[in-house]
Structure 1
Amino acid sequence: FSFDPKELEALITPKTKMIIINTPQNPTGGVLPSSDLDLIAELAVKHDLWVMADEIYCAIIFDAVFDSILSRPGMKERTILVDGFSKTYAMTGWRLGYAVVREDLVAHFSKLLTNSVSCTATFTQWAGIAALEGPQDCVEEMVASYKRRRDMLVDGLNEIPGFKCLKPQGAFYAFANVTGACRNLGLKGAEELQDYLLNEAGVAVLARTCFGNRVPGETEEYVRFCFATSESAIKEGLSRIKKAVS
């Protein structure tokens, strides 16, 4: 779940201003390898482009090693790094995040924030400081737990007829190929499977098209699972899916 380097460069036109990357990625759980980041950096410098790097899942890595495009030569001047506390410190809903940008952009970011969210609550700012300066053992324990849940979910999905799933390298999502399941059930695509699993199995998933329109030539069907839940819930969900599609 990465990209075709030749296709990326071919898509750049004189109108292109920015490349946006998200690694580790939602919905696939894919992690861009260093070689891909090298290429993006080269293209950004060559074509004088900005890069916005969404690294909100950077601490949730399993079998890969996280690498930031910000570390490449010449990228500090043209990168907008976006991160936050929601994923690493389980502070979703506290709406606390940050960006790393050139100093001359700070005033523009301040105007944007002032007119969109007004200000960040004081207690969440203190919580953010405590999260950054405090022990990180809890993060390591959480990631280890996510890895166990990932393995349970992916192994279980691959035992269900019509489901094929790669093990994500980061974040807490699994992006399963359900082309076979759709055909077996006589469904048109992942959107109908999404409804089917909700109504027949009581399991909530998101179809591929929830994350953007199909691209030309795309024929496979996918749904996204989230394993940021208990192992017992994952086990129960797998059992329900298997019963509903068998």
Structure 2
Amino acid sequence: MAILTPLFFVFRNYKEISGKVTAALFFNIALSTLFFVVRKTPGICEVLPSTENTPCDFDWREMEAFMFLSCIIVIRNRSALSWYQTYSTALQFAKLTSAYLFWRMNIYFGLFYMILCVIRLYFLPDDRIKLPDSVEYLNDLQDCSKGYWLICLYSTWSPQCQKVAPVFSELSRQYSCEGFKFGKIDIGRHDDIAKKFKIRTDSMSQQLPTIVLMQDGAGLQKRPVVQTNGKLQKFHFTEENIVQAFHLNQVYNEVTKGKKPEDKKKD
């Protein structure tokens, strides 16, 4: 399960990931699955230390570690907003598990594996994919007084805003066009805008980020929403949820007269 979970996610997002693979990603995957490979490879597994009489099979402690790894990956990725967050979390904990298992097998194997990980970090660091986006950083709502705008109201100190940032950038790359723009406003520096949309900006606020769809300067809808009883209706900022909640396909078709977002990538 620990191996299948990230692989299933890669398969599901194959079209998005296929053009973004790097040498760092391949080497990272190789390191993360190294223990599994050497334990199951004929000619290698026979000479490896084993606590049981089946050197080419996992012992009970190794199976226990893999089960624990599966649980951790599932729990940590429940709030993942993009494929990058999912696979990076899975590979990170897979390497930690492999380091423990190699160390348990033999102290020198553990040291060698840790040296490989350090070398990988130095020469092939994790490279967050940075594609050019179409997000404009605004200081005033007057800047979005014409046409449709999807505005992300964020704060620099909020971890949730940092998690949503690559998702918002990806959506801007897909949907931004003449008549439909994407913008971001740091409401930590603009209290007047925070008050206009009734957003708390204190450290306990659960309204960050807030995304607002505007047309000709007027707010049409926003997420998350504070209900009439004062309770916050939480919103999970995945690409699919944002597209559905703000009807991005309909807005895009309206301003481009039926042209699909995918068509823009071919222009």
Normalized per residue, the structure richer in helix is: 2
Bin of the TM-score, shorter chain as denominator length: under 0.3
- TM-score, normalized by length of structure 2? 0.25
Greater gyration radius = 2
- TM-score, normalized by length of structure 1? 0.26
